[in-house]
Structure formats: structure tokens, C-alpha cells
Structure 1
Amino acid sequence: MSEPLPHLHTAPPHGPHEVPLAGLPLTVLVGVTGVGKSTALTALRAADPAARVLPDRREITDQVMILPLAGRPITDRAERFRLTARYREGHPGGMAQALGSLTADTRCWGQRPLFDGLRGLEEVRYAAQTFPGWRFVALHAPDAVRVRRLLGRADAFDRLENAPAGGNLRARLAALPGVDAVFTPAELDTLAALEGAGCSAADILARTGIVVSERQHYDPDAAAAFLRTLPPERALVLDTVALSPDQVAAAIRAWA
């Protein structure tokens, strides 16, 4: 079983240092897998060692969403997306609602923690409308770039079961359910060509499938468009292709 969240729980505050996250001025990173949230947080921590970063989305998902539904840890990304979608049927705010339900010990997390991260319009809109003290940094990168970044990070969590079998890689990529809504034929050609550049067919297929599956549940463009309607002191939108991680961290620190 996954470890409980450190110094965080779903019960009401029961001590002078405990505060609902709903009432703290969180800075929340917004973006889908592979846009550079973790890299940005690493750069932020290097620039400000005192920064307090809450347990990430994966850990909170495990404890608040998946374990109550499945009763065991789930590693397959497509199955996790399915279970989180099921959680959202009763909790329309998704991760925003899960995060806002937690109580934090401020001796550990401070008064202005950071969180990685929210995804999609529903989560972002719920958070912005429900928690007026929260502020948002949306990070963006094209889907093909995200696949290449996932290939480069070699995270064992980036797995996809039940991938299409048989045929060459290009044909298997084209057989991914929903792929046509995310990638053009030319982009699939480029991704298939990565097999000759040191990446395995299985890894390319898995990472592409993750990006496609995630886009079926979360629309990063709609989330960014909504954030641009908020006052500039509440939302910042950054392109992680145009900006280096250090530049992203500098922009966040200057805005904050």
C-alpha cells in the first residue's frame, strides 16, 4: 500500500498549527504530463531552498482517489485515468477538490506551499472559483514534445498496458484509440522514426499512448484559456519550449 500523506489528512484541523489547504494561498502548477512541471519545481527549489512543495499529484491521487476505489495501488496509466474519471463523477472538482479537502500542518508545509499540479478545465475552474487564495501557473508544451520528454525521463511509472500488438511501430501507433484526435499522420511518422534514434518501440508506443489517454480526460488548452480570463495576479501561463527551466523558475519567482 502507498504511504500515508505526511502531515496531511482529511480530518478537520485539531491543533493550532493545522489549517485547511482550502484557506492557504497555494501556488498551483497546472499542466499535463511532460510539460515540465517537475523540472520547473526542481529549478524553483534550487533558486529558493526554503520553498515548501506538497506531495505531488500522484501521491494524493493514490491516497484520496485510487485506494478508496480500487483497494490497492494501480500503476497502469490508462487504468489510473479511468479510476480518477470515476472519482470525478462524485467530485466534479477532481484533484482540486481532493487537494482542497486536506488539512495541513503548517509547521511542515508553511503558509504558502506549492503544488504540482492540476490538469484540465474542470479542475482549474473549480479551484479558481472555490479557493480564492489559490494562484495558478500553467505550463504548456506541444504533445509531440511531451512524448519525447517522457522518453527522456525513464520513469518506470510511464507504463501502458494492453497496447496494440502486431505490425510495425507506425501501424501500432495509428491503432491507439483516439490517436487521430491528438496527433497528425506527420507527427506519428516523426514519433515512429524515434525507434531508430535509440528509443525502443515499446517505450515510444507506451509514452504516446499515455499522452493520448490523458488528452481524452484533460484539455490543457481549455485550462490555459480559462486561466487567461483571471486577473494577472492570479494566473501565469508559460511556454516550456520557449523558456528554459531556469527561465520558467525566474518568471514564477518574479510573478510571485
Structure 2
Amino acid sequence: MSASALPFLRTAPPPPGAFEAHLGDLAVTVLVGVTGVGKSTALTALSGERFRVLPDRRRVTDAVMILPHAPQGVADREERFRLTAQYRDRHPGGMAHALGTLVGDTRHWGQRPVFDGLRGLDEVQYAAREYPGWRFVALGAPDAVRVRRLLGRADSFDRVGAGAAGHTLRAGLDALEGVEDVFTPAERDGLAALTAEGYTPTDVLAKVRIVVSERRHYDPAAAEAFLRTLPSHRALLLDTVAQDATQVGHAVRAWA
């Protein structure tokens, strides 16, 4: 792993030297949630003098899981999901394993860095069990809200092949693999109606596909249910629809 990929971090071996530690041995605060739940708000609340923010999930994924197999990188979200699933098959805990085994320079990161983030029950359970010093801030939002947020943020990373939409957007939504496990017919009607707000059918279909694909790999509800079993000092759960960005920020700062 090159130094430019994850500054002040490296893979082991060798074991930690002076001023180094495995991240699994530090008091990491971890954001938990899938794309579009509002993690950026919590991250902003945690950023500052008290905490240093580690390279995010995307960069750790690239450095540890993607680039060793695809040196030119992978942009398509579906292909990234496939490669990260292969990593999870080899390393239970997936991203939690990848992050916890990295060695960090504590002169830069301190003892209480922040990471964005973990997803799904397997990652969260692994992290809570293997790294007792880690604490978790879980954020949730309904899947239809997540689609709207993805449409609104115009992140170049939110790319995935939209596929054939058929003659109508509604037909294209129905044709997505696994869509019936995430969105009811009525919710799909609402998603198809987003074109009346100026969004293109291609963009709507692509963002819905991201949400559906993530849900095939990660179950936010199961992760949140597990986190509710942890002591309150280890887990904070927030609904980013019931609470606006200001309220979320205040809650995170008060808890941290």
C-alpha cells in the first residue's frame, strides 16, 4: 500500500513501532450507516481539535480491497460491491477487519480518531467484539429518502450502470433485481414520479439501483438492532429524518 493512498497509516507486518498502534487498539468513533443516511452531518460535528478523521471507507476500500486486484481502480458501484464481498469472504468482518488491522501513526491520529464508516450487522458485530474501545454513531433514514438525497448531492462516486429501463421508468424500476425486497409497489410509484421534479429517468434508476444493491449486501436494520444491545456509552442511534442536521450535530457532540 503506497504512502499516498492512506497517509500516516500502513498495513502490518511489521508490528507497531514507537508512536504507532493498530487502529483496533485505539478509541475509534465509528459512523454506521449506508449511503445517504446523513453521515456527513455527524462527521462535521465530530471534526475538530478533539478528533482526527481517518481516511473514509471509500479510500480504505480502494487501498486494501480494490487496488490489489484492480490497480487502475473501479468506478462502478456494483463491481466494487463484488470485490468487497470477496474480501469479506476471506476476512470475516470485512471493513471492520481492514480498518482494525491498519497501523496508524498516533502522533498524527491521536488516540481517538473518527472513521466513516461501517455498514451492516457483520461489520458492526465484528468491530464491537474485537475492538472493545470502539464506539458507534448509527444514522438511519428510509430508503426512499436516501434515493432523494443521492439525487440531490451529485456525488461523482454515485455511479452505477442504470441498465435498460424498458419503455418507462416505472418498468425499469420493477425490473431491478431485488427491488421488491426494498421498495413496495406504492414506493416505486413515488420514485417514478420524481421525474416531475426535474430528475431524469436515468438518474432516478441509477440511484435506486445503488440503494437496492447496498441493501443486498448490508442490512441497516439488523445493525441498528444489534447496536441497541450495547451500553449507551458505546452506541448512539439517530434518525436523520426525525432530527434535522442541527439536532443531529448537537446530539453527536453531546454524546462524544
Cα distance, 1:50 vs structure 2: 4.5
Where does 1:62-211 land on structure 2 (aligned, <5 Å)? Answer: 62-161=62-161, 163-211=163-211
Q: How far apart in 1 are the matches of 2:140 and 2:162? A: 28
Identify unmatched segments of 5+ residues in structure 1: none
Deviates more, 1:71-80 or 1:205-214: 71-80
Q: Which amino acid aligns with 2:7?
A: P
Give the match for residue 6 of structure 1.
Answer: 7
Cα distance, 1:165 vs structure 2: 3.4
Q: How far apart in 1 are the matches of 2:10 and 2:166? A: 46
Q: Which amino acid aligns with 2:21?
A: V
Q: How far apart in 2 are the matches of 1:110 and 1:104? A: 9
1:73-122 deviation digits (Å, cap 9, x = unpaired): 00101111111011100011100000011011112111101100000000
1:135-186 deviation digits (Å, cap 9, x = unpaired): 1111000000000000010011111125233311111011111000000111
Q: CA RMSD in A?
A: 1.6
Q: How far apart in 2 are the matches of 1:24 and 1:123? A: 17
Q: Is the 8 A contact 1:136 1:234 kept in 2?
A: yes
TM-score (norm 1): 0.95
Q: How far apart in 2 are the matches of 1:167 and 1:106? A: 56
Q: Indicate the SS of the match to 1:216.
A: helix
TM-score (norm 2): 0.95
Q: Is the 8 A contact 1:30 1:117 kept in 2?
A: yes
Q: Indicate the SS of the match to 1:70.
A: coil
Q: How far apart in 2 are the matches of 1:31 and 1:208? A: 17
Q: How far apart in 2 are the matches of 1:50 and 1:99? A: 20
Q: How many equivalent residue pairs?
A: 254
Cα distance, 1:24 vs structure 2: 0.2
Cα distance, 1:43 vs structure 2: 3.6
Q: How far apart in 2 are the matches of 1:219 and 1:74? A: 24
Cα distance, 1:71 vs structure 2: 3.1
Q: Which amino acid aligns with 1:106?
A: T
1:49–1:14 distance in 2 versus 1, CA, 3 Å: closer
Q: How far apart in 2 are the matches of 1:228 and 1:7? A: 33
Q: Which amino acid aligns with 1:17?
A: F
Q: How far apart in 2 are the matches of 1:22 and 1:49? A: 21
Identify unmatched segments of 5+ residues in structure 2: none
Q: Is the 8 A contact 2:162 2:205 kept in 1?
A: no
Give the match for residue 34 of structure 2.
Answer: 32
Q: Which amino acid aligns with 1:37?
A: K
Give the match for residue 241 of structure 1.
Answer: 241
Q: Indicate the SS of the match to 2:177.
A: coil
Give the match for residue 19 of structure 2.
Answer: 17
Q: How far apart in 2 are the matches of 1:203 and 1:5? A: 32
Deviates more, 1:64-73 or 1:192-201: 64-73
Q: Is the 8 A contact 2:32 2:139 kept in 1?
A: yes
Give the match for residue 44 of structure 1.
Answer: 46
Q: Is the 8 A contact 2:94 2:123 kept in 1?
A: yes
Q: Which amino acid aligns with 1:20?
A: H
Cα distance, 1:187 vs structure 2: 0.7
